[in-house]
Structure 1
Amino acid sequence: MFDTSFSTNDLSYMLQGAWLTLQLTFWAMLIGTAFGIVFGLLRTMYPKRTIPLGWFLDIFRSVPLLIQFVLFNSFKSIANLPYDAFQVAAVVLGVYTAAFCTEIVRSGILSVPEGLSKASRSLGMTQKQTLLYIVLPLATRISFPGWVSLALSVMKDSALVMWIGVIELLRASQSIITRIQEPLLVLCVAGLFYYVMSLVIARVGVKFERRWQIND
């Protein structure tokens, strides 16, 4: 008979960690998407003027996320800034997300056929109207699958915040493993949580894509 020390309290503790993981993912995607849209537009409209911005974003894309967490958390402590570990994690993960979201937005805009912009201008639409009503709606549809994939990646990368003291799903799982010494069971449960959360995000993304197709 299968015997385990894993209790309902442990399950509840992991659920709290999963909820914190979702919160981190939400704030990271909110921050990253907002800045990604702005930076993506700037990088597309003014490519030469925004070369320094591109270099800056390359740093966040290139440096491992774990190093970014540790460096920013250390800077927070040295500068005695009034932010807790969760806020540091959300900001760092948000900037990291913005670096990738910028390229998603930029590639989406550049994927819109230039002939559509020329056609709208020939019909009397201004550059701003062309951008708002022609380019951005099409670019959004093109970029959306990449944005969903980024959200799934950010959710998994959020596990690295455990190194700065944030008790998300993986950190909660490790605490339980240390106490009951049943790593296989606990990690299977944690993996199931990640699978369910990823499945929900993916399904919501598919639903939005289908709605756009129906509206067409």
Structure 2
Amino acid sequence: MLACEIDAVVVDVLGTLVDEPAGICAGIRDLAPSLADLAVDELWQLWQRHIDSEQRRILDGSRPYTASDGLDSEAAKLVADAAGIDDPAAVDALALSGRRLPAWPDTVLGLARLAERFPLIGLSNASRTALLGLNAHADLRWHQALSAEDARTYKPAPSVYKLAVAVSGAPPERLLMVAAHAWDLRGAQNLGLRTAYVARPVGDPPAPSDRFDLHAENLADLADQLGDPIR
């Protein structure tokens, strides 16, 4: 049974435990309440494209490391400009919307069930400050929460997953990486971690060639597959 081979569970945050599009879209609606849903979605896509492209530039070395707070501020300015909003205070508020993301309905109970059996480590591309606010807002509970900021890069760089390996004190093959993003799991897999895909509406589903250890419908299903703690 896989659970007997695991010393700690490492869980992605953005998209896996919290609904990132919903939180950012709520911030965009606060910025410009008159926008139609289609326009809000287009602005969210603009936000996400900027974050993705800038993280890739950091990963390939074409841009110096910038923490997620800085990237969110840039994205907020792009969105505000596209919406025709010229209010620095409103832009600053939008930039902080990434710290107010709602948890998926199964997240809090699912984390609690996993934490009953395993040391639980959150591993996020969010900055340390953003992760603190996000954890508090969404009521995420961990034994340890780690930010990619400590590696000064972003997942899927190996150095980010090494943060969890170092903290756990266990070899990579004794850690289970949980994420709704196949690209994240591939990054962990490349370092030797075991992997569990959790389906989310906003995730990156596995390709036919992916071979992850577990596939779960949600965190409750994952907890079921890993079994109850030994009393």
- TM-score by structure 1 length? 0.30
Which structure carries more helix by proportion? 1
- TM-score by structure 2 length? 0.28
Q: Greater RCO between the two (CA within 8 Å, min separation 6)?
A: 1
Which structure carries more strand by proportion? 2
